[in-house]
Amino acid sequence: MMNLNGLKIALVGPLPPPEGGMANQTRQLGELLVKEGAQVTLVRVNAPYRPRWIGHVRGVRALFRLVPYLFNLWRAAGRVDLFHVMANSGWSWHLFAAPAVWVARLRGVPCVVNYRGGEADSFLDRSASPVLRTLRKASALAVPSGFLHEVFGRRGVRAEIVPNIIDVQRFQVRRGPLPERPHLVVARNLEAIYDIATALRAFALVRQSFADARMTAAGSGSQEVALKLLAAELGIADAVNFCGTVDRDRMAELYRSASVVLNPSRVDNMPNSVLEAMASGTPVVSTNVGGVSFIVRDGATALLVPPGDAAAMAQAAKRILQDPALAERLQSAALADVQQYAWPQVRRKWNDIYGSVLAGARMETRPA
C-alpha cells in the first residue's frame, strides 16, 4: 500500500463559504490528507473577488477570477506529484475542471478527475465531445456513486467509485426516542433543483396530523423570498424556521434534533445531507432521483418517494412519526450502511488510485 506521507497533491475545487456538498467534501478531503502527512496545495475555484466590488459586475467578474486561477494552477503544477480535481457539470466544468486537466497535462503532472453532480447525464448529452476529449487527458476518473459510474459507463468511459466522506465523529448518532415535538429538517439550498416547495407542502400536510410539528430549512439561495411567501400561503410560516446556511458543527446538532430529514431534490447524485442524517441516527425521507437509490434501500435505510409528490412525502414522514419501531429499524440499518463512507474505508480507495496513477506516470517517463 502506498504511503500518503509526503505526497504532494494539488487539490482543485471550491471551499466554503458558501457551505455546500462539493465545497465541504473538498475541505474535508484536504484536512484528512494533511493529517495523513500529505502536502496539500489548495487551488480554490471560488476564491473571493479582488477587488471585491468586481463580484457585482456580470461578465467581467469571471475574468477576474479565471486569470488568477489559471496562474495558481500553473504554479501548483510545478510543485506537486499529482492533481486531484473536484469537477461538476455545466460552466463549472468548462471554466475550472477542464483547464485544470489541461494544465496538468501540459506540465506532465498526473491528474485524477473526481466528477460529481446529479446533472451529469443531461450535461453529457449536450457536451459529450469536449468533456470526453478532456477526460482522455486525465490519468483517472473517480465518481462518488454507482449512478455516475453508470452515466459514464454508457458513454464508454471507465470510472472508479470512491464515495463521499462522512465524518462519523462529528455526525454522531442521537441516542433515545424521537423528539416529543416532531421536528422536520431540510438541509438543501433554496434553489429550484432541490424543490423545497414540495417539502413545505408536505410539512403542511404533516401538520394536519401533528399540530405542534415544526420545520427547519437549513440553506440559502435564490428562492428564499418565494419560499417564505409559500409558507405564509400554506399557513405554516410560524412553524418554519428558515435559518440560512449553518456551519458543519451546527448542522450536526440540527440533524440530532430532527425527527425526520426530508430530501425533496429533483436532481441528485450522492447527497451529503442524506448520508449525514443517516450517520446521525435520524430517519430519512427522500425523493427517488439520480443516485439516491444507490446509497439507500427503500424501506430498509430510508423511505423513498417520487419527486414533486408532497402527499407521498407527507405520508412517509407520518409513517415514521407514528411508528417508533419503523424509525428504529431505519436508524439501525442506516447506521450500519453509512460506515462505508468513513475515512478509513475511503482512504484505501484514494490510496489505490493515487498509487496506480503515479505508477503509470513513472512508467510513461521511464527511458526506453
Structure confidence at residue 367 (pLDDT): 41
Structure confidence at residue 191 (pLDDT): 95
How far is 267 from 201, CA to CA, in rounded Å?
19
Among 64-68, 84-88, 325-329, 360-364, which is the least confidently predicted range? 360-364
Structure confidence at residue 102 (pLDDT): 97
| Residue at 336: amino acid letter | A
Kindly report the average pLDDT of the chain as a whole number.
92
Q: Residue 186's beta-bridge partner residues?
A: 217, 262
Structure confidence at residue 1 (pLDDT): 63
How far is 261 from 168, CA to CA, in rounded Å?
17
pLDDT digits (tens, 9 = 90+) for 162-205: 999 999 999 988 766 677 899 999 999 999 999 999 999 999 99
pLDDT of residue 366 exceeding 60, the answer is no
Query: Percentage of residues in the chain with pLDDT exceeding 70?
Result: 96
Q: How much is the pTM?
A: 0.89
What single string gives the DSSP state of each residue in 77-107?
Answer: HTT-SEEEEEE-STHHIIIIIHHHHHHHHHH
Let me know if 361 is exposed, middle or buried by CB neighbors in 10 A (0-12, 13-18, 19+): middle
What is the set of domains in the chain, with CATH numbers?
8-165+342-365 (3.40.50.2000), 183-339 (3.40.50.2000)
Residue 163, all three cell numbers: 464515495
Q: What is the dihedral of CA 74, 80, 83, 84, to 10 degrees?
A: -130
Overall average pLDDT of the 288-316 stretch: 97
How far is 260 from 286, CA to CA, in rounded Å?
10
pLDDT digits (tens, 9 = 90+) for 318-361: 999 999 999 999 999 999 999 999 999 999 999 999 999 999 87
Q: Nearest-5° angle of CA 177, CA 182, CA 188? A: 105
User: 365: pLDDT confidence band, cut at 50, 70 and 90?
Assistant: very low
Overall average pLDDT of the 51-66 stretch: 73
Overall average pLDDT of the 28-48 stretch: 95
Strand order in the sheet with 240-242: 240-242, 214-217, 183-186, 260-263, 284-287, 303-305
What count of other Cβ atoms lies within 10 Å of the Cβ of residue 180? 8
pLDDT of residue 251 exceeding 60, the answer is yes
Is residue 4 classed as helix, strand or coil in its secondary structure?
Answer: coil
How far is 212 from 323, CA to CA, in rounded Å?
17
How far is 263 from 173, CA to CA, in rounded Å?
19
